[in-house]
Chain A
Amino acid sequence: MEDLKAPSIDYAAVAPILILFGAACLGVVVEAFVPRRARHAVQLTLALLATLAGLVVVITQASTRVTTAVGALAIDGPAVFLQGAILVLALVSLLLMGERKLEPGGAFVPQAAITVGSEADERQAARAPGLTEVYPISLFAIAGMLLFVAANDLLTMFIALEVFSLPLYLLCALARRRRLLSQEAALKYFLLGSYASAFFLFGVALVYGFVGAVDLASIHTAAAESDRDPLLLYAGLALLSIGLLFKTAAVPFHVWTPDVYQGAPTPVTAFMAACTKVAAFGALLRVLYVGFNGLSWDFTPILGVVAVLTMIIGAVLAVTQTDIKRLLAYSSIANAGYLLVGVLASGERGLASTMFYLVAYGFSVLAAFAVVTLVRDADGEAGHLSRWAGLGRRSPLIAGLFTFILLAFAGIPLTSGFISKFAVFAAAMEGGQTWLVIAGVISSIVLAFPYLRVVVMMWLSDPSDATPTVSVPGVLTTAALAIGVAMTLLLGVAPSLLLDLTTGAAEFVQ
């Protein structure tokens, strides 16, 4: 038997992940021992501080380029950048989750296990403060995402996938209003998510069958040099990408997205739309750019078809949506298509533009969902689009900000949306993928229609009695909204601030 060796771990490099996991555990202790009244404040502070601490450590690690824990983790340019991105976006999402001014007790249910519609449920809906477990759960999810983008072998990647998915399934079920919808969403997400994980695991098995190892460096070597019949490798890659494309919400693995985005509590939807996207694309980038780079990108046409379908179907389906959260869900699907274009552009520029897109889109989508949390009536958030008619007359500021965000989604210049689309399309042109760019431009035109419809509705329709009021946001939502809008503007006006950063980070270690 081979001698066992204790692995050496570069603790400084993995510190952000450890901090987040530690804080999550601490959150569980807080939940168990801190009196109920103080919990919310303590938990929120703890979560924000932990995320901030993680971010600070990530920034100090900016120039780290190592693999550690026997090659299971790679802390390199993209990993550090994406970890930073996840932490920043998570910080803003946590602000949204922490808001308790819009609705007494916050957006989360006090006791998730109580039967919907029972007497006890009506009692708790009225006043009880919401679950505070959401903060440790979110911290677990964030930590899992940090691990996911740094995972350098497929098994670690799978573990990380599960670690961040399970908390998300839970979070989806915790909406205070429309609880049945929320629970249904969570169950769907859980079932389909496990289903997709199985594909991923199957893919790992097939790849192991070919390579005899699961770390990406060995896969790279084997893909490039092995003279055996690579059928297993290709089939394995197919199944791996299916598992990852599910998380990124690419067509035809997107079907869960609208239902889950609509059912989940809006802050959680925002968190998923911003952070999960970063994590999923981070892992996809690493698998394709490190592990399977040796296949010389001959699979581009297949994933290209997926990208085209994602862009077109996402955009076309967005046209007939009548619920704002479903509309944003389809927009998020279409954006996954644009991101795939960036991924398939290959090369350093594809990598850099994709990372830029992820951050820019994350901020915009957080701001968009922040606005969604504000437009409410007696039944909670007013999701149906017809209710948004005439909002511009009632609350010009909020409608103006939302218009700005929608224009950013539509890719109007001077917003980050324009720069990020331009960057991925330019990278794809350079990578010789003109057909993807053509499809992307067509889909952008289609997609502009539903955005503009909302804009027209808000500004040019007369407000009716059904037009909901815009609640006065608390400090936390205001901060989140302000950060999202400001970054959307800033990245549109001075994109080079971030473009330089992504270009500098655009190199994987093996």
Chain B
Amino acid sequence: MEYAQATGLLGNVWLLVAIPLASAALLLLLGRRADRWGHWLGVLAPAASFVLGLVLFAQLSGLENKSVELSLWDFIDVFSFKVDFGLLYDPLSAIFVLLITGVGSLIHVYAVEYMRHDEGRRRFFGYFNLFVAAMLLLVLGNNYVMLYVGWEGVGLASYLLISFWYTRPAAATAGKKAFLMNRVGDAGFAIAIFAMFAALGTTQYDEVFNGVGALSSGLVLAIGLLLLLGACGKSGQFPLQAWLPDAMEGPTPVSALIHAATMVTAGVYLIARSNPVFSANETLQTVVVSIGALTLVIGCIIGCAKDDIKRVLAWSTVSQIGYMFLGVGLGGGAYALAIVHLLAHGFFKAGLFLGAGSVMHGMHDQTDIRRFGGLAKHMRITWATFGLGWLAIIGMFPFSGFFSKEPIIAAAFEREGWTAWLFGGAALLGAALTAFYMTRLFVLTFHGKPRWTEDIKHPHESPALMTIPLILLAVGSVGAGFLLSTSVPDWLTPVLPEHGEEAHGVLSHTVITILSLLVTVLGAGGAWLLFRNGTQEQEQPAGVLVTAARRNLYADSFNEWVFERPGIYLTRALVFLDNRGIDGLVNGLAAAVGGGSSRLRRTQTGFVRSYAMSILTGALVVTAAFVALQLGWLV
């Protein structure tokens, strides 16, 4: 793998990161002085990056070697440990830049209106721009350390934004939960970087990818699993999925941008970027596929049982990212399919979240779908755009989800033997369940009789600043899928493996297409029949599965029993040990140092004569030592 040096216009790639970063710094440092105009600066920054991204994209597409590198300076240069502070602009990162800045700009515009009455709007935009900068750094870095810096940066921004309303205990707790669960993943990622450096002496992408072939398969497996742990943490995949739905405590634009469209897909980016590592070991790929399949089913099941509009969407995000993991795990041409789904998902999921925000805006921040109903008449634009997003996510022809999800299902069926049935079946089941719960969500929110709380008389449509981004994202939900699925795989070929010959799986492609449309229609139709007349306004007693799903399939309890309790006991044991053993030692040492210090202090009398004496003694000893050295008395 060879990267060309960035020349000409492409030398300005760093500006993509620098613009939002500078804007974030300005917004956070200027303080209240920027309150009046700060949000517009906040919108301008990602928009400017987007325009620049378009220009650079055009520039890149004209090049022969589409991977250009820009070394800015040596980030770390200590003996053999060298880390380049450099950027890599190639088809993969270029397309991510457009997604992040494009969707990001729309959500920023939306947030201007959404956060209008919030005192912390300037702070919000500061964090938001910080996130954009970190996310761009994440996808633009040319080595794993840079990726890690961006990775931690988005983690920080996400933490700050989830607990943006830090006075609410739920928001503060959710922020901490996200932070801690991400730490688990990040620790894995960091160890993977250390291992890479230990084994290959570098963390540059090209050098790692060229060197990975020479490593033992056990080592590749270890590195890959650790990377995967990091990816699972960031992308809310099993077993680290529990933080993502709680993260919905943040403002809705945050959920849309960070926890739906971009940050949570960083795990997919990581695996796609590291495709030479993952392709080098078959066990590794199987693990990724299994995690993807398992998570997508878990997400769907829990999604069916939730009644909070944002939580349903959050679980659907978990499940859709499961599809992407499935894609990158399948390897070969499916890498590109996963990226296509990621991009399409970025559009329709952002649209859905913003639509949910618009609904909440009109309904006094109500999030319970059992208390909606019949909103279609009152919010035409939200209804229409949400509807298009809904059709896209359930994979209805000809909306974008169809073009991006169906190929992944087909690819799953191309695996060999019984695993084709297992993973393909899971993907089909997921499609059916997605259609079911998304239809439930849509119908309960917009159709049927109103079940509003008493304080709501006339739900109103949101202002233009919110609806315009909705419309633009809806256009993307409709058109993007076809466009992306036809052009992106070719565009990505230099980075990702090429799409091979049409493999013959256990079922033919046509059959799979028909099957997936069929289960979608069945799921959606079932939900329509069940919920067209509304639902109970309170939670009803339910069977085992539904109760389990309501409790997030006991993931939180699992975490509590498997990690938290033993963790607490371990901590207590350690504290005991620490108090008795280590602190004893440390305190003893500290006392010794303190005592020595007080004793030595007495030599500092303040009299020049004793100082001079001390100097003289020192001089005599030093001179005597030198003389003794020369005479050979010191060997």
List residues of chain B with CB within 8 A of the CB of A251. 618
Q: Is the CB of B612 closer than 8 A to any CB of chain A? A: yes
Give the nearest-CB partner of B75 in chain A: A494
* Cβ-defined contact, A230 with B618, below 8 A: no
Q: Is the CB of B615 closer than 8 A to any CB of chain A? A: yes
Q: Shortest distance in angstroms between B156's beta carbon and chain A's nearest beta carbon?
A: 14
Could you say which of B79, B614, B622, B629 has the most chain A C-beta atoms within 10 Å of its C-beta? Answer: B622
* Cβ-defined contact, A191 with B600, below 8 A: no
Complex interface: stretch among B177-185, B416-424, B488-496, B589-597: B589-597
* Cβ-defined contact, B615 with A196, below 8 A: yes
* Cβ-defined contact, B611 with A235, below 8 A: no
Hey, what's the 0/1 contact readout for A207-241 against B, CB within 8 Å counting as 1?
00000000000000000000000110111011101
Could you say which of B597, B629, B631 has the most chain A C-beta atoms within 10 Å of its C-beta? Answer: B597
List residues of chain A with CB within 8 A of the CB of B617. 252
A188-B611, A255-B604, A320-B598 known; A234 vs B73 contact (CB < 8 Å):
no
Q: Shortest distance in angstroms between A473's beta carbon and chain B's nearest beta carbon?
A: 17
* Cβ-defined contact, B622 with A306, below 8 A: yes
List residues of chain B with CB within 8 A of the CB of A446. 593
Give the nearest-CB partner of B607 in chain A: A188
A235-B627, A446-B593, A494-B75 known; A241 vs B615 contact (CB < 8 Å):
no
Q: Is the CB of B74 closer than 8 A to any CB of chain A? A: yes
Q: Is the CB of B78 closer than 8 A to any CB of chain A? A: yes
* Cβ-defined contact, B612 with A192, below 8 A: yes
Q: Is the CB of B8 closer than 8 A to any CB of chain A? A: no
Q: Is the CB of B625 closer than 8 A to any CB of chain A? A: yes
Q: Shortest distance in angstroms between A150's beta carbon and chain B's nearest beta carbon?
A: 26
Q: Which of A187, A233, A252, A318 is the one whose CB lies under 8 Å from B615?
A: A252
Q: Shortest distance in angstroms between B620's beta carbon and chain A's nearest beta carbon?
A: 10
* Cβ-defined contact, B593 with A234, below 8 A: no
Q: Which of A230, A258, A302 is the one whose CB lies under 8 Å from B604?
A: A258
* Cβ-defined contact, B594 with A319, below 8 A: yes
Q: Which of B590, B601, B612, B629 is the one whose CB lies under 8 Å from A317?
A: B601
Count A/B pairs, Cβ under 8 Å: 109
Q: Is the CB of B30 closer than 8 A to any CB of chain A? A: no
Query: What is the CA–CA distance of A195 and B627 in the complex, to the nearest angstrom?
Result: 21
* Cβ-defined contact, B625 with A238, below 8 A: yes
Q: Shortest distance in angstroms between B80's beta carbon and chain A's nearest beta carbon?
A: 11
A195-B615, A302-B625 known; A422 vs B596 contact (CB < 8 Å):
no
Q: Is the CB of A458 closer than 8 A to any CB of chain B? A: no
* Cβ-defined contact, A238 with B623, below 8 A: yes
Query: What is the CA–CA distance of A367 and B634 in the complex, to the nearest angstrom?
Result: 43
Query: What is the CA–CA distance of A293 and B622 in the complex, to the nearest angstrom?
Result: 19
Q: Is the CB of A204 closer than 8 A to any CB of chain B? A: no
Hey, what's the 0/1 contact readout for B599-610 against A, CB within 8 Å counting as 1?
011001010101
* Cβ-defined contact, A234 with B618, below 8 A: no
Query: What is the CA–CA distance of A53 and B506 in the complex, to the nearest angstrom?
Result: 80
List residues of chain A with CB within 8 A of the CB of B615. 192, 195-196, 242, 246, 252-253, 255
Query: What is the CA–CA distance of A383 and B623 in the complex, to the nearest angstrom?
Result: 38
A316-B597, A446-B593 known; A234 vs B619 contact (CB < 8 Å):
no
* Cβ-defined contact, B593 with A259, below 8 A: no
* Cβ-defined contact, B597 with A234, below 8 A: no
Q: Shortest distance in angstroms between A493's beta carbon and chain B's nearest beta carbon?
A: 8
A317-B601, A320-B598 known; A255 vs B611 contact (CB < 8 Å):
yes
* Cβ-defined contact, A234 with B614, below 8 A: no
List residues of chain B with CB within 8 A of the CB of A497. 73
* Cβ-defined contact, B614 with A302, below 8 A: no
Q: Is the CB of B630 closer than 8 A to any CB of chain A? A: yes
Q: Which of A192, A234, A256, A423 is the one whose CB lies under 8 Å from B630?
A: A234
Q: Is the CB of A57 closer than 8 A to any CB of chain B? A: no
Q: Is the CB of A104 closer than 8 A to any CB of chain B? A: no
Q: Is the CB of A158 closer than 8 A to any CB of chain B? A: no
List residues of chain A with CB within 8 A of the CB of B630. 230-231, 233-235
Query: What is the CA–CA distance of A422 and B625 in the complex, to the nearest angstrom?
Result: 30
Q: Is the CB of A199 closer than 8 A to any CB of chain B? A: yes
A234-B630, A235-B626 known; A252 vs B597 contact (CB < 8 Å):
no
Q: Is the CB of A499 closer than 8 A to any CB of chain B? A: yes
* Cβ-defined contact, B619 with A313, below 8 A: no
Among B90-135, those with CB < 8 Å from A are none
* Cβ-defined contact, B596 with A316, below 8 A: yes
List residues of chain A with CB within 8 A of the CB of B78. 419, 422-423, 426
A191-B608, A239-B623 known; A255 vs B77 contact (CB < 8 Å):
no
Query: What is the CA–CA distance of A320 and B601 in the complex, to the nearest angstrom?
Result: 8
* Cβ-defined contact, A234 with B74, below 8 A: no
List residues of chain A with CB within 8 A of the CB of B604. 255, 258-259, 317
Hey, what's the 0/1 contact readout for A256-268 against B, CB within 8 Å counting as 1?
1011000000000
List residues of chain A with CB within 8 A of the CB of B625. 238, 302, 305
Q: Shortest distance in angstroms between B586's beta carbon and chain A's nearest beta carbon?
A: 10
Q: Which of B77, B597, B610 is the one whose CB lies under 8 Å from A320?
A: B597
Query: What is the CA–CA distance of A253 and B617 in the complex, to the nearest angstrom?
Result: 10
* Cβ-defined contact, A242 with B619, below 8 A: yes
Q: Which of A199, A237, A301 is the one whose CB lies under 8 Å from B634?
A: A301
Could you say which of B593, B610, B634 has the most chain A C-beta atoms within 10 Å of its C-beta? Answer: B593
List residues of chain A with CB within 8 A of the CB of B77. 495-496, 499
Hey, what's the 0/1 contact readout for A283-326 against B, CB within 8 Å counting as 1?
00000000000000011011001100000010011111000000
* Cβ-defined contact, A319 with B593, below 8 A: yes
List residues of chain A with CB within 8 A of the CB of B79. 426
Hey, what's the 0/1 contact readout for B309-353 against A, CB within 8 Å counting as 1?
000000000000000000000000000000000000000000000
Query: What is the CA–CA distance of A449 and B589 in the complex, to the nearest angstrom?
Result: 12
Give the nearest-CB partner of A189 in chain B: B608
List residues of chain A with CB within 8 A of the CB of B596. 316
* Cβ-defined contact, A316 with B618, below 8 A: no
Query: What is the CA–CA distance of A83 and B611 in the complex, to the nearest angstrom?
Result: 31
Q: Is the CB of B85 closer than 8 A to any CB of chain A? A: yes
Q: Which of B73, B594, B626 is the one whose CB lies under 8 Å from A238?
A: B626
* Cβ-defined contact, B629 with A302, below 8 A: yes
A246-B615, A301-B634, A499-B77 known; A316 vs B600 contact (CB < 8 Å):
yes
Query: What is the CA–CA distance of A230 and B590 in the complex, to the nearest angstrom?
Result: 45
List residues of chain A with CB within 8 A of the CB of B631. 231
Q: Shortest distance in angstroms between B599's beta carbon and chain A's nearest beta carbon?
A: 10
* Cβ-defined contact, B626 with A259, below 8 A: no
Query: What is the CA–CA distance of A258 and B604 in the complex, to the nearest angstrom?
Result: 9
Among A462-506, those with CB < 8 Å from B are 494-497, 499
Could you say which of B76, B611, B626 has the most chain A C-beta atoms within 10 Å of its C-beta? Answer: B626
Q: Shortest distance in angstroms between B134's beta carbon and chain A's nearest beta carbon?
A: 15
Give the nearest-CB partner of A429 in chain B: B79
Q: Shortest distance in angstroms between A132's beta carbon and chain B's nearest beta carbon?
A: 30
* Cβ-defined contact, B627 with A238, below 8 A: yes
List residues of chain A with CB within 8 A of the CB of B610. 255
List residues of chain A with CB within 8 A of the CB of B75. 494, 496
* Cβ-defined contact, B611 with A256, below 8 A: yes
* Cβ-defined contact, A496 with B74, below 8 A: yes
List residues of chain A with CB within 8 A of the CB of B601. 317, 320
Q: Which of A237, A241, A252, A419 is the one whose CB lies under 8 Å from B614?
A: A252
Q: Shortest distance in angstroms between B135's beta carbon and chain A's nearest beta carbon?
A: 20
19 interchain pairs, CB-CB under 8 A:
A187-B608, A192-B612, A192-B615, A231-B630, A234-B627, A234-B630, A237-B626, A238-B619, A239-B619, A242-B615, A256-B611, A299-B629, A302-B622, A302-B634, A317-B604, A320-B594, A422-B78, A423-B78, A446-B593
Closest 4 CB pairs of A and B: A252-B618, A238-B626, A496-B74, A234-B630
- 19 further A-B contacts with Cβ under 8 Å, apart from A191-B612, A192-B612, A235-B627, are A195-B612, A196-B615, A234-B630, A237-B626, A238-B622, A238-B626, A239-B619, A242-B622, A252-B618, A253-B615, A255-B614, A299-B626, A302-B625, A302-B629, A316-B593, A316-B600, A320-B598, A449-B590, A499-B77
Residues of A within 8 A of B (CB): 187-188, 191-192, 195-196, 199, 230-231, 233-235, 237-239, 241-242, 246, 251-253, 255-256, 258-259, 298-299, 301-302, 305-306, 313, 316-320, 419, 422-423, 426, 446, 449, 494-497, 499
